[in-house]
Amino acid sequence: MGDDIKAATDALRALLAGMRRGVAFTGAGISTECGIPDFRSPGGLWTRNRPIDFQTFLARRDMRAEAWRRRFAMEEAFGAARPGRGHRALARLMREGRLAGIVTQNIDGLHQASGVAAADVVELHGNTTYATCLDCGERHELDWVRARFEASGEAPDCRDCGGPVKSATISFGQPMPAAPMARAGELTAACDVFLAIGSSLVVWPAAGFPVQARRNGARLVIINREPTELDELAELVIHADIGDVLEAATGG
């Protein structure tokens, strides 16, 4: 670890020691060490496939099948992933009562897998580890979807109502989920420290939360390998590896 990063990590440790109702806001960068690629790094998912937006998913059966083909191609990464050092550090801060909650853009379920109660994880973009019917809301397990997809090559319809079944994630063009957005807003309004971790902070409205936190007078920390859109708003910016920094700053 370089000298400047060591100094920044020391500053972070001091700041975390005084944190009472912090919010950790996480993006894909916290899960890259777990084998799940992010979107916008060179070689990230984004650079390989243009995402299928919500209207296209609804309108075209062939694109629904394509969405499932891509999802199952990712299963090796999502299915095998275990929480990393960043997830474990945040779970420690939750246990110590320093964090009030974790707001995540991730869809991988790794915060819950690290031992944080599901009620303390706010998922802004849903969860890719199961599927729901867009018409009636019925939950479908991925094994069920996969068996039908592999047998027919087609996207399966809901076993109850025949509606379209979609991974329980939020696609571009799909409305943001109301309850998680409200909860994230409440946590942000009440926090003393806001930790933005592993997000390029370009996807709105999610990227509005660090801005809101700053406006409310919270201390803003950004930890990300590359510069983000909001670096100039933050009191402390650490451009380094998330696992290294959080492990060092939380005494893991």
Residue 115, both tokens? 């031992």
For residue 133, state whether it binds Zn ion (rule: CB under 5 A): yes
Closer residue to ligand NAD, CB minimum distance, 102 or 107: 107
Would you say 187 or 196 has its CB closer to ligand NAD?
196
Q: Choose, by CB under 5 A, the member of 53, 66, 138, 244 that binds Zn ion.
A: 138
Which CB atom, from 124 or from 158, has the smaller least distance to ligand NAD? 124
Residue among 146 and 239 whose Cβ is closer to ligand NAD:
239
**Among residues 120, 135, 229, 235, the one that binds Zn ion under rule CB under 5 A:** 135
10 forms part of the interface with Zn ion (CB under 5 A): no
- Residues 236 and 15: their CA atoms lie apart, in Å, by 10
User: What minimum distance in Å lies between the beta carbon of 172 and Zn ion?
Assistant: 23
Of 144, 146, 147, 174, nearest to 159 by C-alpha is 144
How far is residue 50's CA from residue 2's CA, in Å, rounded to a whole number?
Answer: 37
Q: Which does 138 bind (CB under 5 to 8 A by kind): Zn ion, ligand NAD, none?
A: Zn ion
Among Zn ion, ligand NAD, none, partner that 241 touches (CB below 5 to 8 angstroms by kind): ligand NAD
Question: Residue 145: CA atoms inside 13 Å, Cβ hemisphere, count?
Answer: 27
CA–CA distance, 34 with 84 (Å, rounded to integer): 6
The vertex-213 CA angle with 207 and 217, nearest 5°, equals 150
Of residues 14, 7, 176, the one with CA closest to residue 103: 176
| Contacts to Zn ion from residues 146-185, by CB under 5 A | 158, 160-161, 163
The reply to whether 125 belongs to the active site is yes
Binding site for ligand NAD (CB under 6 A): 27-29, 31-33, 36, 38-41, 44-45, 105-108, 125, 198-200, 203, 224-226, 241-242
Using the CB atoms, write b or e for 160-172: b if 16+ within 10 Å: eeeebbbbbbbbe
Among candidate residues 87, 111, 125, 140, the one labeled active-site is 125
Residue 197: φ, ψ to 5°: -125, 115
Which residue numbers are catalytic?
A: 125
Residues at the contact surface with Zn ion, assessed by CB under 5 A: 133, 135-136, 138, 158, 160-161, 163
